[in-house]
């Protein structure tokens, strides 16, 4: 399942030329991942209270075309791979049919001490069936 999150580009997201500053794409896709998990019924606050958090381990990003002030973008998020303690998510940012940005994000599941941990069963099931 691909989750889509609409994102409007505000002035604060752009540089002096009115083009989205490169680091803001990372913020856009972070929001996309959070809303994707929420749509799957995964409560990240409850995960943290249970001693599990996600940390970005690796990100591969390609900036293909610029987004500009006032563009309406779509952040698309889909599960690519899942192991016992890690998930890999493919994300894109589009303006209509135009592909602007792609990323593959590897997330590690960590325990409260920051050590790798197995994905909780309920989380793994939600991801697998989502």
Please name each of the domains of the chain with its CATH number: 3-129 (3.10.129.10)
At 33-78, the pLDDT tens digits run 999 999 999 988 988 888 899 999 999 999 999 999 999 999 999 9
Rounded to 5°, the CA angle 85-30-38 comes to: 70
**Active site members:** 15
Q: How far is CA 128 from CA 40, 79, 84, 121, 125, in A?
A: 10, 9, 12, 10, 5
11 pLDDT more than 90: yes
The pTM of this model reads: 0.92
Q: How far is CA 18 from CA 6, 28, 70, 75, in A?
A: 19, 17, 9, 20
Residue 81's Cβ-side half-sphere holds a number of Cα atoms within 13 Å equal to 10
Q: Which DSSP state fits 41? A: T
């Amino acid at each position: 399942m691909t989750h889509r999150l609409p994102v409007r580009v505000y002035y604060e997201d752009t540089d002096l030329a009115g083009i989205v500053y490169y680091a803001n794409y990372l913020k856009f896709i972070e929001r996309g991942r959070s809303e994707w998990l929420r749509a799957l019924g995964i409560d990240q606050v409850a995960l943290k209270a249970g001693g599990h958090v996600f940390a970005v381990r690796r990100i591969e990003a390609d900036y293909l075309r610029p987004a500009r002030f006032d563009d309406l973008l779509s952040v698309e998020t889909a599960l690519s791979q899942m192991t016992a303690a890690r998930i890999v998510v493919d994300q894109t940012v589009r303006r209509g049919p135009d592909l602007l940005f792609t990323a593959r994000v590897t997330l590690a599941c960590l325990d409260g001490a920051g050590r790798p941990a197995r994905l909780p069963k309920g989380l793994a099931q939600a991801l697998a069936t989502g």
